[in-house]
């Protein structure tokens, strides 16, 4: 019986894509290039990059660091669980020719079950980290909302646009820096642990 080779693809995925925002967000709104669209400020129209607020604020950076720690812990746990399984698979492949057909089937099936269990655990860890990330972003967003509202009023805005979706124009009424400063004055760090997966009934909307 040929067993597929185990990999840590699922486990390694836990350590990627877990920052609070995409990496490029921190570099948004770089220095204007020649020929960039400009123009006069539009009265009452303001802009905000929510992604940049998360990337540049102190609490956003603290949350990203904590998420990285949780991902690293999960990856190490999965790696330690995989090592004895890899050893047993290698041993089985080396002695397979000396086993009877029934022995090969029995031992191969047992290893296959262990491999499936490992892959399921890796998937669950990834789901938990993604759930944690979503809840942390929601918490920070709730903390930032009053700061955004205050900046909106201060700048006499009548319309707030997502800066990251704006193709060009005058960025005089960009509230992002103001909101980052206000959020930093309000909150600098956040504490959290890995979220548990929701109960099966809850994930199905509580259907009976």
The DSSP string of 136-171 is HHHHHHHHHHHHHHHHHHHTT-SEEEEGGG--SS--
119 found inside a domain? yes
Is the CB of residue 126 less than 8 Å from the CB of residue 10?
Answer: yes
67 found inside a domain? yes
Is the CB of residue 174 less than 8 Å from the CB of residue 47?
Answer: yes
Residue 160's domain spans which residues?
Answer: 9-18+38-197
In whole angstroms, how far apart are CA 14 and each of 19, 77, 117?
11, 11, 17
Longest dimension (CA), the chain: 83
3 found inside a domain? no
User: Within 10 Å of residue 165's Cβ, how many Cβ atoms?
Assistant: 8
In whole angstroms, how far apart are CA 101 and each of 51, 106, 133?
58, 9, 48
Cα distance between residue 164 and residue 166, in whole Å: 6
Q: What is the pLDDT of residue 204?
A: 55
24 found inside a domain? no
Total tally of structural domains belonging to the chain = 1
29 found inside a domain? no
Q: Mention every residue, 6+ apart, whose C-beta is less than 8 A from residue 173.
A: 41, 42, 45, 46, 47, 155, 157
107 found inside a domain? yes
pLDDT in tens, 140-169: 999 999 999 999 999 999 999 999 888 888
Please say if the pLDDT value at position 54 is more than 50: yes
Q: Which range is least confidently modeled, 68-72, 93-97, 148-152, 169-173?
A: 169-173
Q: Say what percent of the chain tops pLDDT 70.
A: 77
Is residue 10 very low, low, confident or very high in pLDDT (cuts 50, 70, 90)?
A: very low
129 found inside a domain? yes
27 found inside a domain? no
Return the closest-CA partner of residue 195 out of 101, 122, 118, 130: 130
């Amino acid at each position: 019986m040929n067993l597929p080779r185990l990999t840590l693809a699922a486990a390694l995925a836990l350590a990627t894509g877990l920052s609070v925002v995409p990496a490029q967000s921190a570099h948004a709104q770089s220095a204007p290039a020649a020929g960039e669209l400009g123009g006069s400020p539009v009265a009452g129209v303001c802009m905000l990059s929510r992604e940049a607020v998360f990337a540049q604020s102190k609490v956003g950076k603290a949350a990203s660091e904590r998420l990285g720690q949780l991902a690293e812990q999960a990856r190490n746990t999965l790696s330690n669980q995989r090592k004895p399984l890899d050893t047993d698979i290698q041993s089985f492949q080396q002695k397979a020719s000396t086993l009877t057909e029934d022995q090969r089937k029995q031992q191969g099936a047992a290893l296959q079950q262990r491999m499936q269990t490992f892959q399921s655990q890796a998937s669950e860890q990834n789901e938990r980290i993604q759930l944690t990330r979503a809840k942390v972003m929601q918490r920070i967003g709730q903390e930032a909302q009053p700061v955004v509202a205050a900046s909106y009023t201060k700048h006499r805005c009548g319309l707030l646009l997502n800066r990251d979706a704006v193709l060009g124009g005058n960025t005089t009424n960009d509230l992002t820096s103001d909101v980052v400063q206000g959020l930093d004055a309000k909150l600098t760090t956040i504490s959290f642990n890995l979220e548990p997966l929701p109960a099966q009934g809850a994930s199905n909307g509580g259907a009976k």
